[in-house]
Structure 1
Amino acid sequence: MAPFRVAFDLLMINLRYHIVSLVAVFLALAIGVIAGTTVINDQVVKGLERSDATLRASLQKQQDSNGVFKSQLNLWESWGGTIAKQIEKDVLRGRTVALMLSSGVDGKIVSNVQNALTVAGATRGGTITFSTRWNFNDDTARQQLGSILGLGPAATAADVATQGADRIANRLDTPGDPNAAGDLLQALAQGGFIQVSDPTGGAFPPAGSLVVWLSSGAPNPSPPDGQFSLPLLRAMIEHVSIAVGEPMASADSLSDQIHGDAALNRTVATVDHVDTIPGVAALIAGLHDVATGLPAPHYGTRRGTTAIAPTP
């Protein structure tokens, strides 16, 4: 038994040794992993902190730069506003100006133009705003419009557009009460095709009124340029002086189409950046020129324009 006992004790000692060794190895590995992870985490954190500091510094630099640019822009706008008022001052005194707006014109543009007309000494002669119903591909709207114009249900889109342009041009050349029963403007307003604002409370538009047409520049304008707006302008230029304005980057440029029409290009002033201070001043100056019999100027940045804005 003694040799067996000794052998058994040696085996147990050897087994305990291996167990302790394995535990030591795993413990060392665990400590190494933890220590390594801590080092890596510290490096990652430090790297992120450096990146954050760099980004914050870059952001602050950009904000400072933006602040400088904003101050410069405010300075230029203030200076431009002063110059614009010199251009606009009293150039339309004694004249009445009616506005015609396609659907969706920015209200800020309308307000800026109205304020400029006041500076120019003009009297506001009311506003016609076209709705989104001027879609000649919509059978219901087209037939209703045709009925208002005295056309039958078989009238084509071209018939309705042509008749509409002629009838509206004739109506605007004959001042009358837009709320009177049977008046064309009253019928169009009731049908949801236009809205009429008449601050004069009398005959609209006042006799001898000039017209500012503001286009939204939308991709599918209402009313459509080719089918209606251009024919209406052609019908109106025989009796009234007109200036047309649209915002920069217009997807549908009425100004471009006017430049491509020989008769309109000679007689209708255009501005393709009426959403800017120089553009509003150019609109007033252009309206003044055509009202006094001068050739129609074309201001802006598109093809066919001659200058960004008039000079004082």
Structure 2
Amino acid sequence: MIDFRYHLVSIVAIFLALAVGIVLGTTLLQEPAVKSAQEVAAQLTKSKEELRTQLDALQGRESGNDALITALTPELVAGALTGQRVLLVETPGSSTTVREAAQQVLTQAGAEVSGRASLTEKFFDPKGVGVLDGLVNQFKPANMIFPATATSWDRAAMLLSAAFVTPDQAQANTPNPATADVVSSFETGGLLTTDGDPVKRATLAVMLAPEKPYEGENAEVQAGALVSVAGALDLAGKGTVLAGTIATPAAPGDSIAALRDDGEVSKRVSSVDTADMPAGRVTIVYSLREQLNGRAGQYGIGKGASAMLPTVTTATPSPTTQSGS
């Protein structure tokens, strides 16, 4: 907020200086008006300098806090996810820097990252739902039942989730024989790419939201499609967290806001809107641990967040659990 005010005051000062120049150049007879303009310009300059000082102080405090959290992170998350495998899911426009930092803190928490699944723009393109439907119809296991209200993305997400995650600890790190060709077929269709060995299933998933909200006439549909994927991953495994950064200003295509506005999915899937901050990355770990205990929450500083981070507890997951959080 101070950063915005600082730039606003700077812009106003520039235009006011131009106005003063014009006045001085056209007449020397309106001394009261010139004096008044000069006084206002001086006050704006002073305000700018004060805001700059405040901004520098706040940035210094933030830098110090970030350094402290970064130094303490290994201790804060130690053992929190021991024995769990975590799938990282990238979406178009998500941050590589955030993903790499999240992967590091997950490892520090004792988790094993099974791999990475990167969904492409084609996956979220409303014009390509026919391709999704065709693949789902071709590779859906006979025992997979879709809700009557399921969208194309709901069905595709359910099929992919069965290939990537499991709620059964005994089946973790093994492929799902019922979905043997699903991932390779989606890759061939240009709908996703993979890194590592994500078909050896994980128990948890962290989905990385786009840095910028979707735009255009399909923005809400695409954000909803992303929420479908997060919801399906949660149901197929032990829990899912959607992580990203706060959208300023809020927009209809913001995927984290879309998740928080979805009354059904937000009860199961957690979100973190401070994933670009060291504290936010710790919150991702705590949110996953909370998921293991069958709870979910919306965390951060954006609209719909209930707290900065979950209540710190010790996870007591049950290996026999057969449904998502």
Alignment equivalent of 1:167, drawn from 148, 156, 159: 159
Distance 1:123 1:144 in 2: 33
Shift of 1:137: 3.2
Distance of aligned partners of 1:285 and 1:133 in 2 relative to their CA distance in 1, 3 Å threshold: same
| Cross-structure match for 1:103 | 92
* Superposition TM-score, scaled by structure 2 size: 0.63
Task: Tell me which amino acid in the other structure corresponds to 2:254.
Answer: S
Distance 2:101 2:219 in 1: 21
Shift of 1:228: 5.4
Give the secondary-structure state (helix, strand or coil) at the position aligned to 1:133: helix
Q: Would you say the 8 A contact 1:245–1:274 is kept in 2?
A: yes
Structure-to-structure mapping, 1:148-187, within 5 angstroms: 148-150=135-137, 160-173=152-165, 183-187=181-185
| Cross-structure match for 2:305 | 305
Shift of 1:60: 9.4
Shift of 1:189: 0.9
Deviates more, 1:109-118 or 1:232-241: 232-241
Distance 1:264 1:109 in 2: 24
Alignment equivalent of 1:213, drawn from 207, 210, 221: 207
- Pair 1:204-2:198 in alignment: yes
Distance 1:149 1:245 in 2: 27
Shift of 1:136: 4.3
Structure-to-structure mapping, 1:50-129, within 5 angstroms: 70-129=59-118
Stretches of structure 2 lacking an aligned partner (at least 5 in a row): 1-44, 139-149, 167-172, 313-325
Q: Would you say the 8 A contact 1:246–1:254 is kept in 2?
A: no
Distance of aligned partners of 1:261 and 1:146 in 2 relative to their CA distance in 1, 3 Å threshold: closer
Task: Tell me which amino acid in the other structure corresponds to 1:257.
Answer: A
Distance 1:218 1:112 in 2: 24
Q: Percent identity between the aligned chains?
A: 17
* Superposition TM-score, scaled by structure 1 size: 0.65
Deviates more, 1:68-77 or 1:89-98: 68-77
Structural RMSD (CA): 4.2
Distance of aligned partners of 1:281 and 1:265 in 2 relative to their CA distance in 1, 3 Å threshold: same
Give the secondary-structure state (helix, strand or coil) at the position aligned to 1:197: strand
Distance 1:159 1:294 in 2: 26
| Cross-structure match for 1:190 | 188
Residue by residue, what CA displacement relative to the aligned partner does 1:132-189 show, whole Å, maximum 9, x if unpaired? 1124432xx33333333336xxxxxx763343123223323477669xx961111111
Structure-to-structure mapping, 1:146-295, within 5 angstroms: 146-150=133-137, 160-173=152-165, 183-198=181-196, 204-216=198-210, 217-219=213-215, 224-227=222-225, 229-230=227-228, 233-234=231-232, 236-249=234-247, 252-291=253-292, 293-295=293-295
Q: Would you say the 8 A contact 1:87–1:285 is kept in 2?
A: no
Shift of 1:225: 3.0
Distance 2:202 2:55 in 1: 48
Distance 1:213 1:231 in 2: 9
Distance 2:193 2:309 in 1: 31
Structure-to-structure mapping, 1:130-149, within 5 angstroms: 130-138=119-127, 141-149=128-136
Give the secondary-structure state (helix, strand or coil) at the position aligned to 2:121: coil
Q: Would you say the 8 A contact 2:299–2:307 is kept in 1?
A: yes
Distance of aligned partners of 1:161 and 1:94 in 2 relative to their CA distance in 1, 3 Å threshold: closer
Distance of aligned partners of 1:228 and 1:105 in 2 relative to their CA distance in 1, 3 Å threshold: closer
Distance 2:94 2:219 in 1: 10
Shift of 1:67: 5.8
Shift of 1:265: 2.5
Shift of 1:62: 8.5
Distance of aligned partners of 1:63 and 1:126 in 2 relative to their CA distance in 1, 3 Å threshold: same
| Cross-structure match for 2:318 | none
Distance 2:302 2:59 in 1: 26
Distance of aligned partners of 1:110 and 1:194 in 2 relative to their CA distance in 1, 3 Å threshold: same
| Structure whose alpha-carbon radius of gyration is higher | 1
Residue by residue, what CA displacement relative to the aligned partner does 1:41-97 show, whole Å, maximum 9, x if unpaired? xxxxxxxxxxxxxxx999999888766555433222212323444432221122111
Distance 1:119 1:283 in 2: 12
Distance 2:91 2:284 in 1: 17
Task: Tell me which amino acid in the other structure corresponds to 2:156.
Answer: G
Q: How many residues align?
A: 261
